[in-house]
A and B are shown apart, each in its own frame.
Chain A
Amino acid sequence: MSIASAEKSIGAITFDDVRVGQLIVAVAAAIALLRFQLPDFLVRPPDWLVWPFADWINFVFVFLKDDLGFIHVTRSIASVVEWFLDVTGNLLYGRNRWPRIGPLPWTTVAVTAAVIGYALNGWRLSLLCGGTFVWIALMGQWKWAMETLSVIVVAAPVSAILGVVLGIAAWRRKTVEKILNPLLNIAQSLPHFAYMIPVVVFIGVGPKAGAIVTMIFAMPPMIRMTLLGMKKVPPEIVESGKMCGSSSWQLLRHVRVPTARTEILLGVNQVIMQCLAMVVLASFIGMPGLGQKLLQLLQALKIGRSLEIGITIVLIAVMLDRCSKAWVVKQPKHFERGTPWHVRYRILVAWAALAVATFALSLLWPLADEIPRRHALTVSKEADLLVDWFVRLVDPLTQWLRGFLIRFVFIPMRDAYLWLPFISVLAFWAGLGWMVGKWRSALVCLGYFGLIAMSGWWDRAMITAYMITFSVFIAVALGLPLGIWASRSERRARFVLLVCDTAQTFPSFIYLIPVVMLFGVNDVAAIGAVITFALVPFTRYTIEGLKDTPPELVEASSMSGASAWQQLWKVRFPMALPTIAVGFNQTIMFSLFMVIIAAFIGTQDLGQEMQKALSSTDVGKGLVLGLCVAFMGLMADHLIIRWSDSRKKALGLE
């Protein structure tokens, strides 16, 4: 299919629809220009338009909690969770609870991790796993890391199992799927903090609250992947199961679920990564561990120490990601008949031997059991010196940049966004909606942004919007050339993709360390973190889009004498645009998440209010703010995905 003919027919959207959309956008601009003539109720959302959603939500929550006695239910669930946490807590860091055998010596834990790594993917993974724990122990972070891991060890399986069950329910019953789908959409675009407030109300603060919020937060991708996997089971396999006389339970247990293994395990991978991201953030509701330590150190501007913790978190993230991904691709292998059991189970045997050996060693030599803080290594002094030197070196630049950005970009941009009459903003989005999907999309966009206007947080939302706009703009401005550069050679592409993939597994919190180091605690740092975080998906999708241009098109254009530049702009880029759009979508989502997290180092947007709501456990306010963020994300998602889909169809890519 040639590009020229693709240009003419953009899916079902005709030229006229685009015109109507443009007209609406033009009207929006005109309204904005006439701002001073406008009556007041068209400039700021008037009082009668602002509905007390927060009060309603609070009312419902109080009703649920006190009148229906829901709190007793949640408290008993929490005590079950706490029991599990006690067990893992005892084993990993010696919490004084049943079974009272912990803490396990760090050497035992490290060899266990190394053996798991080996079993999953050989020596290199084994080294990564073992090395991570050795690093943790040597750096004297054992207790914090184990506090964090003890929660993940409980939360990830629970979350995965519940996710699989819900996924299967959604697959069995269309109605469940219909109900779950919009809920999952919202859940996956709600910022982390919005989850925390209801949990604080129902459970309280501390490790069990942290564990429960982690479970809830990590579940949506598992549900999605299970549903996808169940739908993808080949009908012939199901039929053959039926003809073997399976009952529907047997069919599910022995045929469908095992066959959907790959998708389900991919879901498990996502669950684990989400758990890690959340458990670190749960320090905001009193979850001890690495996250809390990092939060304290960052707030005290102890850069060297926080770098150490950051490295630990990154190592754990990479380790968990690699292990669970290795599990996804690991295929069962057969043993020849007559293989003796110690060969069959040689890894298990090796583990048992190593575990016993390390245990014995730890009895003889205390340092193999526990490395106390005074014996621990630290590089924080050296790191501090180095960082200090570097910061001082770039200080003129960062100082200047800070001043420049705040004076000439942030403040004018913020003021401009706040100046805009809300009615023209609404019209603008409706117009964009019309361009991608006629009146239906226009209504969707109007609905999302209209609700934001009705929430009473218009100004804060506009501040969030300006930060998102700026961050996304910079992320695109940096990511696009980077992606183009990387996609020019196979090796570069592979390298940059690897970096992006790895960076994407880091918990969002980590991104705050370098920016705080460079800029201190202020909104330049916050936006810096957002940009870095958002840069990753954009670069990734740009490379993937450009790399996947159909080779015959590239060849055809070289044959017709296109220069490298022409080829890029006229052939590759248009073809890659739908994929890049998906990356753009993720960039917006990531920025929204990060803006809210970055709030605690100084912004005045929805995130700051969210922090306030969290500290005063105001569920209604927290959820309304969370939904405002979610609606922005969902609207962007709707616009971009609609556009990208119709574009793909027009280009014959799907």
Chain B
Amino acid sequence: MQSPESAISCRQAWKLFGSDPRKYLASISSQHTYTDISGDGYIAAVRDVSLDINQGEMLVIMGLSGSGKSTLVRCLSRLIDVTGGSVFVEGQDLAELSERDLIELRRSKMGMVFQSFGLLPYRTVLENVAFPLEMRGQDRHARRERAMEVIKLVGLDGREDYFPRELSGGQQQRVGIARSLAIEPDIWFLDEPFSALDPLIRREMQDEFLRLQEMLAKSIVFITHDFDEALRLADRIAIMKDGAVEQCDTPDKIVLSPATEYVAKFTEDVDKARVVHARVLAMPIGEDDATGAPVDGDRTVRELARQLLEETREKIPVADRHGELIGAIRRSEALNVLFGGEK
């Protein structure tokens, strides 16, 4: 059914919008394209998506506006029910959870930052951030303390008594982030959480999330339109188009071997050298070649650029972070990645 280490796994999930989506879904085959479906008056927001998000992994979802990213995340959190297929969270089928269990799951395990913030307009920043704690039934003092902590973390201290309409867009977004941080959920859904932030704070927030994930092994689903952000954060990237996941893989693989025309186009402008790591290019070594000092497999081609240019060996050995040899890269191939040019 699903591998034990996956925090979330979704199997052939569909979400159709229209008059009677379930009946319609039963009547079509999986060969139906997006246009076929819209021809029949339905919107295929999520189309036959199968994904696994591993424990402690950060999966970034990318895709054009309207490609179904938010809808997919809503299916994963069961804010909306899937039309077909199923979603498992830590081995439990979400569709089979009772209302009560679902609430419990959300209180104890899940957090979400919304694309349009979703703040409660008649509560102060502090009350908004403390809201999930209040729902869990924590007492007033504990929740105030915890809320102040995260408010400080997102740099809004001094503003805790403001109302959302008294804040700028970026500040409101940070309230949303703080609210989801307050309960330190194991599974985190972040729908363009940094879209309204200035570059500086954005970077700080990214670091904060990386730190948390590293430290507490959170499983995170992250939506963004910003490829640089995706690269910084992602363990894997899923690229969506018209509701379907075109490719879901590590950033290296996505730029090196795009599965479809669309993915290739999507990553066209990306500087591959900054994405591709030495270890990915490494090939198994025979006895003769690849001698001398190895390079660090966790470094990108861009970071190795100087060495690559000055290098005289055709094959360069690559070691992992423990110093073990894992293979060798071909210098010409690495230079191709660095300068573009055909593979």
A residues adjacent to B (C-beta < 8 A)? 234, 236-237, 239-248, 250, 254-255, 258-259, 261, 331-337
Bound CA–CA A248/B102 (angstroms): 12
CB closest chain-A residue, reference B131: A244
Contact (Cβ within 8 A) A261 B131: no
B 91-110 binary contact with A (CB < 8 Å = 1; else 0)? 00000000100011011001
Asked whether, in the complex, the Cβ of B122 is within 8 Å of the Cβ of A261, the reply is: yes
Q: Which of B99, B104, B120, B162 has the most CB of A within 10 A?
A: B120
A335–B161 touching, CB < 8 Å: yes
Inter-chain CA distance A258–B119, complex, in Å, is: 12
Q: Is B163 an interface residue (CB 8 A)?
A: yes
Interface centre among A240, A244, A331, A337 (most CB of B within 10 A): A244
Q: How far is the CB of B324 from chain A (nearest CB, A)?
A: 43
Give which listed residue, A244, A254, A331, A334, contacts B179 with CB less than 8 A. Answer: A244
**Are the CB atoms of B163 and A331 closer together than 8 Å?**
yes
Bound: A246/B160 CA distance, A? 22
A258 to B164, CA, bound (A): 14
Candidates B74, B117, B132, B166; contact of A244 at CB < 8 Å? B132
Neighbour of A245 across the interface among B117, B124, B132, CB < 8 A: B132
Kindly identify which residue among A240, A242, A246, A336 contacts B119, using a CB–CB cutoff of 8 Å.
Answer: A240
Note all chain B residues with C-beta closer than 8 A to A248. Answer: 99
Q: For B117, list chain A residues within 8 Å (CB).
A: 236, 240
Query: Known contacts A236-B116, A243-B79; can you find 7 more A-B pairs with CB under 8 A?
Result: A240-B114, A242-B79, A242-B106, A244-B106, A244-B135, A254-B131, A334-B163
B118 within 8 A of A: yes
Residue of A nearest to B134 (CB): A254
Say yes or no: A243 contacts B120, CB within 8 Å.
no
Once A236-B117, A332-B163, A336-B161 are accepted as A-B contacts, the answer to whether A245 and B106 lie under 8 Å apart by CB is yes
Instruction: Check B112 for interface membership: any CB of A closer than 8 A.
Output: yes
Is B77 close to A, CB under 8 A? Answer: yes
Q: Min CB distance, B82 to chain A, in Å?
A: 16
Instruction: Using CB atoms, name the residue of chain A closest to B127.
Output: A254
Give the CA-CA distance A244 to B111 in the complex, in Å: 7
A255-B120 in contact (CB<8A): yes
Task: Give which listed residue, A240, A245, A258, A261, contacts B136 with CB less than 8 A.
Answer: A245
Contact A331 B161 (CB under 8 A): no
The contact size tier of chain B is 35 or more
A245-B163 contact in complex given A239-B79, A239-B118, C-beta closer than 8 Å: no
Interface centre among A236, A258, A335, A337 (most CB of B within 10 A): A236
Q: Give the residues in chain B near A334, CB-CB below 8 Å.
A: 124, 161-163, 166
Cross-interface CB contact of B122 among A236, A258, A336, A337, cutoff 8 Å: A258
Inside 8 A of B189's CB, which chain A residues have their CB?
Answer: 243
Is B165 on the interface with A (CB-CB < 8 A)?
Answer: yes
Q: A479 to chain B: closest CB distance in Å? A: 39
CB <8 Å contact, B103 and A243: no
Output the nearest chain A residue to B121 by Cβ-Cβ distance. Answer: A259
Residue of B nearest to A336 (CB): B161
Q: Which residues on A sit within 8 Å (CB–CB) of B163?
A: 331-334
User: CA A335 – CA B166 in complex, angstroms?
Assistant: 12
Q: Is A247 a contact partner of B131 (Cβ separation < 8 A)? A: no
Contacts known (A242-B79, A243-B111, A246-B135); A258 close to B120, Cβ less than 8 A: yes
Query: Are A259 and B122 in contact, CB atoms less than 8 angstroms apart?
Result: yes
List chain A residues, Cβ under 8 A from B110.
Answer: 243
Q: Which A residues touch B116, using CB under 8 A?
A: 234, 236
A residues near B114, Cβ cutoff 8 Å: 236, 239-240
Q: Which of B74, B122, B161 contacts A239 (CB 8 A)?
A: B74
Q: Which residues of A contact B160 (CB under 8 A)?
A: 337
Q: Which residue of A is nearest B166, CB measured? A: A334
Residues A331 and B165 in contact in the complex (CB < 8 Å), given A239-B114, A259-B121: yes
Residues of B within 8 A of A243 (CB): 77, 79, 106, 110-112, 180, 189
Is the beta-carbon distance between A254 and B120 smaller than 8 angstroms?
yes
Give 20 pairs: A residue, B residue, CB < 8 Å, sorted on A.
A236-B114, A237-B119, A237-B121, A239-B114, A240-B117, A240-B119, A240-B179, A242-B106, A244-B106, A244-B132, A245-B106, A246-B135, A247-B135, A248-B99, A254-B134, A258-B123, A332-B122, A334-B162, A334-B166, A337-B160
Given the known interface contacts A239-B79, A334-B163, the answer about A245 and B118 at a Cβ–Cβ threshold of 8 Å is no
CB neighbors of A among B157-188 (8 A):
160-163, 165-166, 176, 179-180
Question: What is the bound-complex CA distance between A250 and B116, given in angstroms?
Answer: 22
Per-position 1/0 for B292-313, Cβ under 8 A of A? 0000000000000000000000
**Separation of A335 and B162 alpha carbons in the complex (Å):** 8
- Distance in Å: Cβ of A292 to nearest Cβ of chain B: 41
**How far is the CB of A395 from the nearest CB of chain B, in Å?**
59
- Which residues on the B side are within 8 Å of A255 (C-beta)? 120
**Residue of A237, A250, A258, A336 contacting most chain B CB atoms (<10 Å):** A237
A24 to B135, CA, bound (A): 64
CA of A337 to CA of B134 in the docked complex: distance in angstroms? 22
A335 to nearest B CB, angstroms? Answer: 6
Residues from chain B with a CB closer than 8 A to the CB of A245 are 103-104, 106-107, 132, 135-136
Known: A243-B110, A243-B111, A245-B132. A237 touches B120 (CB 8 A): yes
Which B-chain residue is minimally distant from A237 (CB atoms)? B118
- Give the docked Cα–Cα distance between A254 and B119 (Å): 12
CA distance A240 to B190 in the complex (A): 12
Question: Within the complex, which residue of B99, B111, B120, B161 is in contact with A337, where a contact is CB–CB below 8 Å?
Answer: B161
CA–CA, A337 and B125, complex, Å: 13
Q: B79 touching A246 by the CB < 8 A rule? A: no
Chain A residues contacting B161 (CB-CB under 8 Å) are 334-337
A250, B119: Cα distance in complex, Å:
15
Q: Which residue of A lies closest to B160 (CB)?
A: A337
Minimum distance in angstroms from B233 CB to a CB of chain A: 21
Cβ–Cβ contact B131 & A236, under 8 A: no
What residues of B have a CB within 8 angstroms of the CB of A258 in the complex?
Answer: 120-123
Chain A nearest CB from B135 CB (Å) reads 4
Closest chain A CB from B78 CB (angstroms): 9
Determine how close the nearest CB of chain A comes to the CB of B111; give it in whole angstroms.
7
Residue of B nearest to A251 (CB): B135
Residue pair A247, B103 in contact (C-beta under 8 Å): yes
Residues of chain B within 8 A of A240, CB atoms compared: 112, 114, 117-120, 176, 179
Q: Which chain A positions have C-beta within 8 A of B111?
A: 243
- Give the docked Cα–Cα distance between A80 and B298 (Å): 78
Q: Which 6 A-B pairs have the closest CB atoms?
A: A240-B118, A245-B107, A244-B132, A334-B161, A236-B118, A243-B112
Whether A241 pairs with B120 at a CB distance below 8 angstroms is: yes
Set of chain B residues within 8 Å of A261, measured between Cβ atoms: 122
A239-B106 Cα distance, complex, nearest whole Å? 12
Name the one of B74, B118, B135 contacting A250, with C-beta atoms under 8 angstroms: B135
* Nearest CB of A to B175, in Å: 11
Q: Which residues of B contact A331 (CB under 8 A)?
A: 163, 165
In chain A, what residue has the closest Cβ to B130?
A244
Q: Using CB atoms, name the residue of chain A closest to B185.
A: A243
Which residues of chain A are near B135, meaning CB under 8 Å? 244-247, 250
With a cutoff of 8 Å between Cβ atoms, the chain A residues found around residue B120 in the complex are 237, 240-241, 254-255, 258-259
Distance in angstroms between the alpha carbons of A239 and B161 in the assembled complex: 24
The chain B residue sitting closest to A335, CB to CB, is: B161
Q: Tell me the smallest distance from the CB of B279 to a CB of chain A, in Å.
A: 37
User: Which chain B residues border A336 with CB–CB below 8 Å?
Assistant: 161
Chain A residue nearest in CB terms to B74: A239
Cα separation A331 to B179 with both chains bound (whole Å): 22
How far in angstroms is the closest Cβ of chain B from A333? 8
Q: What sequence of 0s and 1s flags, for each residue 189-204 of chain B, a beta carbon within 8 Å of any chain A beta carbon?
A: 1000000000000000
Q: Which residues of A contact B119 (CB under 8 A)?
A: 237, 240
CA distance A336 to B161 in the complex (A): 7
What is the bound-complex CA distance between A255 and B121, given in angstroms? 9
- Measured CB to CB, the closest approach of chain A to B268, in angstroms, equals 33
B138 to chain A, nearest CB (A): 11
Rounded to whole Å, the gap between the CB of A251 and the closest CB of chain B is 9
> In whole angstroms, what is the CA distance A178 to B163 when docked?
37
Which of A242, A259, A335: most chain B CB closer than 10 A?
A242
Which residue in A246, A332, A335 is a CB contact (below 8 Å) of B103? A246
